Chains A and B, each alone.
Chain A
Amino acid sequence: MKKLLTTMRRIGPGAVLAALFALTPAAGHAQEADSVVKKLESTHTITIGYRETSIPLSYLDSNNKPTGYSVEFCQKIAEGAKDYLKLPELKIKYVPVTIQTRQALVANGTVDIVCGGAVNTWTRQKQVSFTPVSWVSAEQLLVLKDSGIKDVKDLNNKVVIIATGGTSEPTIQRLIKEDHLNVKIMHVNTHPAALLALESHRGDAYLSDNAAFYSIIKQSKHPENLAIVGPELSYQPEAFIIPRNNSTFAWIAGHTMSEMFKSGEAEKLVKKWFGPFGVGVSPKLKAAWETYSFPE
């Protein structure tokens, strides 16, 4: 028995360290430049990562085909890549991704571009690259009308729901500090779970991207009971994720999107996909697009 324990003591920490270091050497040969373009040229296939339920950005339609605002943007980018690289054809392969898998699938080369809506942050930019801004959302509060919550200050002594996959943790911590709020935080993993928590009175307010609220309200059986309240609490520029060290592919995506911003095509997409929710091009989105409207 004593022998067994000594062996365990010896191999235990060693095994952990070995496991960790076994992973690290993969970094050595990792940073090959322009991997996406090389792949497009050799396979004539681009792989688009899509979200299955992110309405209206990226989701499966009634025929189980990926569709949505972001997916249409990416189809244009695929066309742009085909023209720029002078490929005879470019097939599009769709791979479903989730918030948890999207980054790993880009890192290991399974997916060339993630067409959903990922908030571009400096921290994430250490790991991946982003296309120009496709959509700007802001965090706001979704509440039941009878809860009496009209503003951030009304959150005192309430249960605030936030999504684990979102970017709301720093926002709620900031609000708690600034407004000296006493709130209970409840975590959910998906937007439908947040709706369930609101409607079953487990939580009082859902702090999340207002872009997501439109589809949540649409999914609700009693949309008339829900309200979006309070000021916009953050600036969330959303874009498509592409792998790092891919300057040519980044140029193709940026150039294609810039042309869509300038020609009004992007605005048409907003009308098509967000119009039914009563949402248009916001001043911040307009500003982001104008910033990217570089001349030829």
Chain B
Amino acid sequence: MNYNWDWSVLLQSPYLGWLLSGAGWTLAVSAGSWVLALAVGFVIGAMRSLPWRPVRLLAGIYVELFRNVPPLVQLFLWFFVFPEIVPNAVGMWIKRGMPLPEFTTTVVAVGLFAGSRVAEQVRAGVETVETRLLPAALATGLTPLQAYRLVLLPIALRRIIAPLTSELLITIKMSSIGLTIGLMELTAQSRQIENYTFHGFEAYAAATATYLVIGLFVTWVMHVVDRRVTGGLAGKRG
């Protein structure tokens, strides 16, 4: 290797600022798309477990469409194709008027993709309790909506915290696809630093470490959440 290691570039101006701003965008995209993924996932996942066929079919189409089309393709479709097929005024607004176009598009694309995967987990969670608890909940006089809101979903949610943690970790790393449409998140900023300084290994190592730290922190938070919500039940599950 003919390489001149210099870790101090990471602390120099403006490169440190680039890294911090990149980490900020990564966190922002992850948070935004995770909120969207949970919202979509819970609605679609609940719909897939309902006893009404047309609703199940509709939700099924969503899940299969969004989890089987590669997320990068989805991102390109939202960014390049979508503004051109809607009415011209709307398209121009998306391209010019919409605040933070790259950020918003990445949140939508990653969020809807992750939403389809969250939906499957929610469905699985609901199905583990549905057969026993749905008739019981209805028998107490709850409406189906109340049965879902008050009984099935809260229990299902507790059961799927572990797979949801994995899903969240994947979503954080998937936020890096935003760089293909010009979002200057963590990976994009490392590439930028590489290009200006030719110290690529240091820059990518910094990005790697940052992803790892974010990931470990999220894992820790989710463990705490898991312990809180499952509480004393943890040992008596199933």
State yes or no: do A and B come from one complex. yes
Rounded to whole angstroms, the CA-CA distance of A19 and B212 in the bound complex is: 11
List CB contacts (< 8 Å) of A195-247 with chain B.
196, 200-202, 243-245
Task: Among A1, A24, A187, A196, point to the contact of B5 (Cβ < 8 A).
Answer: A24
Minimum C-beta distance from A216 to chain B (A)? 17
Does any Cβ of A come within 8 Å of B165's Cβ?
Answer: no
Instruction: Assess the A103–B209 pair: CB atoms within 8 A.
Output: no
Instruction: Assess the B194–A200 pair: CB atoms within 8 A.
Output: no
Minimum C-beta distance from A11 to chain B (A)? 9
Rounded to whole angstroms, the CA-CA distance of A225 and B27 in the bound complex is: 40
Number of A-B contacts (CB under 8 A): 118
Instruction: Assess the A126–B6 pair: CB atoms within 8 A.
Output: yes
Chain A residues whose C-beta falls within 8 Å of the C-beta of B167 in the assembled complex: none
Chain B residues whose C-beta falls within 8 Å of the C-beta of A107 in the assembled complex: 1-3
Instruction: Assess the A243–B227 pair: CB atoms within 8 A.
Output: no
Chain A residues whose C-beta falls within 8 Å of the C-beta of B92 in the assembled complex: 201
Instruction: Assess the A103–B194 pair: CB atoms within 8 A.
Output: yes
Does any Cβ of A come within 8 Å of B53's Cβ?
Answer: no
Selecting from A63-71, A74-82, A159-167, A267-275, the interface stretch reads A159-167
Instruction: Assess the B198–A128 pair: CB atoms within 8 A.
Output: yes
Task: Among B84, B182, B200, point to the contact of A103 (Cβ < 8 A).
Answer: B200
Instruction: Assess the A245–B197 pair: CB atoms within 8 A.
Output: no
Contact A20-B209, Cβ < 8 Å, known A8-B220, A189-B182: yes
Chain A residues whose C-beta falls within 8 Å of the C-beta of B180 in the assembled complex: 189
Chain A residues whose C-beta falls within 8 Å of the C-beta of B223 in the assembled complex: 1, 4-5
Does any Cβ of A come within 8 Å of B21's Cβ?
Answer: no
Instruction: Assess the A5–B220 pair: CB atoms within 8 A.
Output: yes
Contact A8-B95, Cβ < 8 Å, known A26-B1, A127-B198, A189-B180: no
Interface centre among A108, A164, A188 (most CB of B within 10 A): A164
List CB contacts (< 8 Å) of B185-217 with chain A.
188, 191-192, 194-201, 205, 208-209, 212-213, 216
Rounded to whole angstroms, the CA-CA distance of A209 and B212 in the bound complex is: 37
List CB contacts (< 8 Å) of B93-132 with chain A.
95-96, 101-102
Instruction: Assess the A196–B80 pair: CB atoms within 8 A.
Output: yes
Task: Among B1, B84, B199, B201, point to the contact of A200 (Cβ < 8 A).
Answer: B84
Chain A residues whose C-beta falls within 8 Å of the C-beta of B182 in the assembled complex: 164, 186-189, 193
Selecting from A27-35, A41-49, A83-91, the interface stretch reads A27-35
Instruction: Assess the B205–A19 pair: CB atoms within 8 A.
Output: yes
Instruction: Assess the A164–B188 pair: CB atoms within 8 A.
Output: yes
Chain B residues whose C-beta falls within 8 Å of the C-beta of A26 in the assembled complex: 1, 3, 5
Does any Cβ of A come within 8 Å of B179's Cβ?
Answer: yes
Instruction: Assess the B95–A27 pair: CB atoms within 8 A.
Output: no
Chain A residues whose C-beta falls within 8 Å of the C-beta of B4 in the assembled complex: 27, 30, 126-127, 244
Number of interface residues of B (CB under 8 A): 40
Chain A residues whose C-beta falls within 8 Å of the C-beta of B80 in the assembled complex: 196, 200
Chain B residues whose C-beta falls within 8 Å of the C-beta of A200 in the assembled complex: 80, 83-84, 95
Rounded to whole angstroms, the CA-CA distance of A193 and B180 in the bound complex is: 10
Does any Cβ of B come within 8 Å of A62's Cβ?
Answer: no
Contact A1-B227, Cβ < 8 Å, known A109-B2, A201-B92: yes
Minimum C-beta distance from B78 to chain A (A)? 13
Contact A100-B194, Cβ < 8 Å, known A1-B223, A27-B5: yes
Does any Cβ of A come within 8 Å of B184's Cβ?
Answer: yes
Rounded to whole angstroms, the CA-CA distance of A100 and B201 in the bound complex is: 11
Instruction: Assess the A187–B184 pair: CB atoms within 8 A.
Output: yes
Chain A residues whose C-beta falls within 8 Å of the C-beta of B95 in the assembled complex: 200-202
Does any Cβ of B come within 8 Å of A115's Cβ?
Answer: no
Nearest A-chain residue to B80, judged by Cβ? A196
Chain A residues whose C-beta falls within 8 Å of the C-beta of B200 in the assembled complex: 100, 103-104
Minimum C-beta distance from A7 to chain B (A)? 12
Rounded to whole angstroms, the CA-CA distance of A165 and B213 in the bound complex is: 27
Task: Among A12, A35, A109, A124, point to the contact of B198 (Cβ < 8 A).
Answer: A124
Instruction: Assess the A103–B2 pair: CB atoms within 8 A.
Output: no
Instruction: List 23 contacting pairs A-B, 8 Å CB cutoff, sorted by A.
Output: A1-B227, A4-B223, A8-B219, A20-B209, A26-B5, A27-B3, A30-B4, A100-B195, A100-B200, A104-B201, A106-B2, A121-B196, A124-B198, A126-B4, A126-B6, A127-B3, A127-B198, A164-B182, A187-B102, A188-B182, A193-B182, A196-B80, A200-B80
A interface residues (Cβ-Cβ under 8 A, vs B): 1, 4-5, 8-9, 12, 15-16, 19-20, 23-24, 26-27, 30-32, 35, 99-100, 103-104, 106-109, 121, 123-124, 126-128, 159, 164-167, 169, 186-189, 193, 196, 200-202, 243-245
Given contacts A99-B195, A201-B95, A202-B95, 12 further A-B contacts (CB under 8 A): A16-B213, A30-B2, A30-B4, A100-B194, A123-B198, A164-B191, A166-B195, A169-B192, A186-B102, A187-B102, A187-B188, A245-B2
